[in-house]
Structure formats: structure tokens, C-alpha cells
């Protein structure tokens, strides 16, 4: 439960603080919050699992394929996953920018098609 609470806290911190900072500093807009909801808690999970597999009392009857090197294998797997995600995201982002050029710097507004409240409540 402690890991879950920490992951939720990290995710919430990401939505309230990190998202605006990343958008302002490098122009990265994460409209679905994938970084906050999946990325940051996953990194926490990778570190916790690496610690857990290194503690003899948590292993039970499990025999890890890497033995004493299992924590480093866990962190290496997380690193490889992160690299694949960054590289494939950059490739897809570049392709989409070429195929669908951005025509306006103005944000999309629903006013033309929907009845929208004037002020947020």
C-alpha cells in the first residue's frame, strides 16, 4: 500500500507541477497525462522492484535467473523500456509533424460547434 500511495502522490505531483513546467520549458504538451499517470510511477515501481528482489526475505521460493545481479537486470529492463519509449515516441512525433503540419498557434475551441459556458465555475 505504501508503494501505491507513493505512486499516486508522484502522479498527482506530476499533474499539478511537472506538466506545466515541462510544457513551459521544452514545449512538450502531454494532453493525456501519460507521463504523469504511467511514466513517473513506473520509474518508482522499477526502483522498488529492484530493491525488493535484492532483499533475501522477499524472495521466497523464487529463483531469479540473474541471481545476485537481478536488481541490476530489473533496472536495466526499465532503462531499455524507457529508451524504446523515447525513441519510438520521437519517431512517431516526427512523422506526424511531417504528415499533419500544425496550421495555427491558437488552441482549439469548441464554441463553433457546441454551447460552451463563458466562465469556468
Residue 121 falls inside a structural domain: no
**Mean pLDDT in order along the chain per 10 residues (121 residues):** 95 91 86 88 94 81 80 93 94 90 71 73 54
Residue 60 falls inside a structural domain: yes
Residue 11 falls inside a structural domain: yes
- The reported pTM is 0.71
Residue 109 falls inside a structural domain: no
Residue 8 falls inside a structural domain: yes
Integer Cα distance of 41 and 13 in angstroms: 11
- Number of structural domains (the chain) is 1
Residue 91 is predicted with a pLDDT of: 96
Residue-by-residue DSSP string for 34-81: HIIIIIHHHHHHHHHHHHHHHSGGGTTT---TTGGGHHHHHHHHHHHH
Residue 106 falls inside a structural domain: no
Integer Cα distance of 36 and 4 in angstroms: 14
- Structural domain range at position 10: 2-100
Residue 120 falls inside a structural domain: no
Residue 119 falls inside a structural domain: no
Amino acid at each position: 500500500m505504501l508503494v501505491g500511495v507513493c505512486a499516486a502522490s508522484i502522479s498527482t505531483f506530476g499533474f499539478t507541477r511537472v506538466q506545466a513546467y515541462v510544457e513551459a520549458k521544452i514545449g512538450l504538451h502531454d494532453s493525456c497525462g501519460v507521463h504523469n499517470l504511467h511514466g513517473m510511477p513506473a520509474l518508482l515501481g522499477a526502483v522498488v522492484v529492484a530493491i525488493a528482489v535484492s532483499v533475501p526475505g522477499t524472495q521466497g521460493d523464487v529463483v531469479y535467473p540473474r541471481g545476485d545481479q537481478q536488481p541490476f537486470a530489473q533496472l536495466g529492463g526499465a532503462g531499455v523500456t524507457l529508451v524504446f519509449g523515447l525513441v519510438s515516441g520521437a519517431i512517431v512525433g516526427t512523422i506526424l509533424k511531417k504528415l499533419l503540419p500544425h496550421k495555427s498557434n491558437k488552441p482549439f475551441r469548441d464554441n463553433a460547434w457546441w454551447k460552451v459556458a463563458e466562465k469556468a465555475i
